Structure 1
Amino acid sequence: MSLTLLIEQILNGLQFGVMLFLMAAGLTLIFGVMGLINLAHGSLFMVGAFACASVAAWTGSFWIGLAASLAAAAAAGAVIELLVIRRLYDRDHLDQVLATFALILIFSEGTRWLFGSFPLYLDIPPLLSGAVSLPGGSSYPIYRLAVIGVGIAVAVGLSLLISRTRLGMRIRAGESDREMIAALGVDITTLYTLVFALGAALAGLAGAMVGALQSVQVGMGEPVLILAFVVIVIGGIGSIRGALFGSILVGLTETLGRVLLPHGLGLFMEPSAAASIGAAIASMLIYILMALILAFRPQGLFAANG
């Protein structure tokens, strides 16, 4: 394998990882603060993608569509928290799973009713449509580098929010003892709505950014949701730092495994067999990684209360 291809795949892994971070950060906040298993988080990812694609097509501006994705996902998150999720905090996890799974079906059918069954497509904005040169002469899309930059900026912003602001102090207190902060006069219901809307907005941002790299279609959030759960288990539930490191670890493992394993197996196997076996093993790598981390650190790499 050439150095150029290796650098390109590392960048692809980072881009995939920071996209997962945008999903996992909101999911780990919601689970860490509220103790809620939210299977509908992937639907908010889909809402952001559809909002961005439809508004961008209507206005001709990707940036207006991006703002619309944040607003639509945050609004959808706040509404479902007020109408549905608020009734689930004191219920067991099975009730939460069933209720949020029902929300997946409602969002999917509602989106299909509004936009139809055909996928939408989102163009990369002209400002980010070029490419930069990599060592060895190949090029890499600027848009994918921008996705990496957005993920890093969001990680820094969330870290500052959690560690330096009054809202962050309340979020951290809510993770430790929600009954105590409620007794001290903090409006816990408003805090929960804000946290849920923030997590939904991050999922919507991820959907909008990914929408320019693939088609925007019904059900696009569910595969990403599974990986986001893997990320927060690896990183540590409730930990933003864990979500970032876990996302990058999963992104690099997934991307490099699909490239390196077939090449490595091809050294002593037939190319066709090496490709099929390598692809099969690569699809299991992140789950093997999760099992190994759980075996040695059941709380994850960076437990929120560790």
Structure 2
Amino acid sequence: MSFILLVEQILNGLQFGIMLFLMAAGLTLIFGVMGLINLAHGSLYMIGAFAAATVAGYTGSFVLALAAALAAAAIVGAIVELVVIRRLYDKDHLDQVLATFALILIFSEGTRWLFGSFPLFLDIPDYLSGPVTLPGGIQYPLYRLFLIVVGLLIALGLGALITKTRIGIQIRAGENDREMIAALGIDISRLYTLVFALGAGLAGIAGALVGAIQSVQVGMGEPVLILAFVVIVIGGIGSMKGALIGAILVGLTDTLGGIFLPELLKLFTDPATATSVGSSLASMAIYILMGAILIWRPTGLFGAKS
């Protein structure tokens, strides 16, 4: 493998991981503060992508498309929290799973009814298209670098929000003792709605950003949701730092595993078998990684020790 190909795949893995972080961060907030298992989080990712594709199609503006994705997902998230999720806080996790799974079906069929079964396409704007030359003469797509930078900026902003602001203090307090902050006069219902809308907005912006490099279609959020849950388990439930590190690990493992494992197996078997078996192992690599980390640290890399 050439050095240039290796760097390109590392950057691809980093970009994939950063996008996973935007999904996992919302799930971490929602579960950490509310104790809610939200299987419908992938549907909010899909809503953001469809909102962005629709607005971009009408206006031709990528910036407006991203704003629409953020707003649409956050508004839908707030409505869902007010109408459905608020009734589930005192229920057990099985009720939460069943209710949010029902939301997946509702959102999927509703989206198919509105937009049809055919995928939409969100074009990369001209000012972000084409390659950029990195040190060492490496050519890499500008838009993927844009995704990495934007994702890291959002991660920094989210970290500042949680650690430096009043609402962040309330969010962290809600993770530790929600009864106490309610007793201190903080409107816990309002806080829950805000947190859910924030998590939904993060999923929506992730869907819009990724929608420019893949088709926007019904059901696109569910595979990403599964990986986001893997990220949370690896990083540690309730840890934003863990979500970021876990997402990058998953992104790099998924991307590099698809290259290195077939090449490694070619040392021991014929190329056709090595490619087939290596591809199968690569698809399992992130779950093997998750299992290994849980054996070492059952609470995840940055989860609270039990």
TM bucket, shorter chain: over 0.9
Shift of 1:269: 1.6
Q: Which moved more, 1:170-179 or 1:266-275?
A: 266-275
Shift of 1:13: 0.2
Task: State the Cα deviation string for residues 34-67 of structure 1 (Å, max 9, x = none).
Answer: 0000000000000000000010001111111110
Task: State the Cα deviation string for residues 181-206 of structure 1 (Å, max 9, x = none).
Answer: 11111100000000000000000000
Indicate the residue corresponding to 2:179 in structure 1. Answer: 179
Indicate the residue corresponding to 1:159 in structure 2. Answer: 159
Indicate the residue corresponding to 2:44 in structure 1. Answer: 44
| Partner-residue secondary structure (3-state), 2:132 | strand
Counterpart check, 1:24 vs 2:24? yes
Task: State the Cα deviation string for residues 191-226 of structure 1 (Å, max 9, x = none).
Answer: 000000000000000000000000000000000000
Task: State the Cα deviation string for residues 146-186 of structure 1 (Å, max 9, x = none).
Answer: 10001110111111111110000000000000011111111
* Percent of residue pairs bearing the same amino acid type: 74
Indicate the residue corresponding to 1:34 in structure 2. Answer: 34
User: Which amino acid is 2:38 matched to?
Assistant: N
Counterpart check, 1:291 vs 2:272? no
| Partner-residue secondary structure (3-state), 1:238 | coil
Shift of 1:77: 0.2
Shift of 1:305: 7.5
2:13, 2:97 → 1: CA distance? 30
TM-score for both structures, normalised by structure 1: 0.98
1:296, 1:260 → 2: CA distance? 24
Shift of 1:68: 0.2
1:149, 1:115 → 2: CA distance? 31
Q: Which moved more, 1:57-66 or 1:265-274?
A: 265-274
Shift of 1:133: 2.2
Task: State the Cα deviation string for residues 105-149 of structure 1 (Å, max 9, x = none).
Answer: 000000000000000001001111121124664521010001000
Flag the 1:148–1:14 CA change in 2: closer, same or farther, 3 A.
Answer: same
2:53, 2:270 → 1: CA distance? 43
1:130, 1:254 → 2: CA distance? 25
| Partner-residue secondary structure (3-state), 1:174 | helix
1:178, 1:30 → 2: CA distance? 13
**2:299–2:305 CA contact under 8 A, matched in 1:** no
Q: RMSD across aligned C-alpha pairs, in angstroms?
A: 1.1
| Partner-residue secondary structure (3-state), 1:140 | strand
Indicate the residue corresponding to 2:109 in structure 1. Answer: 109
Unaligned runs of at least 5 residues, structure 2: none
TM-score for both structures, normalised by structure 2: 0.98
Flag the 1:275–1:134 CA change in 2: closer, same or farther, 3 A.
Answer: farther
Indicate the residue corresponding to 2:220 in structure 1. Answer: 220
Unaligned runs of at least 5 residues, structure 1: none
Shift of 1:267: 2.2
How many pairs does the alignment contain? 306
**2:131–2:141 CA contact under 8 A, matched in 1:** yes
Indicate the residue corresponding to 1:56 in structure 2. Answer: 56
Runs of 4+ more than 6 Å apart: none
2:304, 2:32 → 1: CA distance? 8
Task: State the Cα deviation string for residues 68-119 of structure 1 (Å, max 9, x = none).
Answer: 0000000000000000000000100000000000000000000000000000
Flag the 1:283–1:26 CA change in 2: closer, same or farther, 3 A.
Answer: same
**2:235–2:302 CA contact under 8 A, matched in 1:** yes
2:264, 2:295 → 1: CA distance? 27
Task: State the Cα deviation string for residues 238-279 of structure 1 (Å, max 9, x = none).
Answer: 111000000000000000000111111112321111111001
1:297, 1:267 → 2: CA distance? 33
**2:263–2:274 CA contact under 8 A, matched in 1:** yes
Indicate the residue corresponding to 2:79 in structure 1. Answer: 79
2:186, 2:136 → 1: CA distance? 57
Indicate the residue corresponding to 1:142 in structure 2. Answer: 142
| Partner-residue secondary structure (3-state), 2:100 | helix
2:12, 2:134 → 1: CA distance? 13
User: Which amino acid is 1:264 matched to?
Assistant: L
**1:77–1:197 CA contact under 8 A, matched in 2:** yes
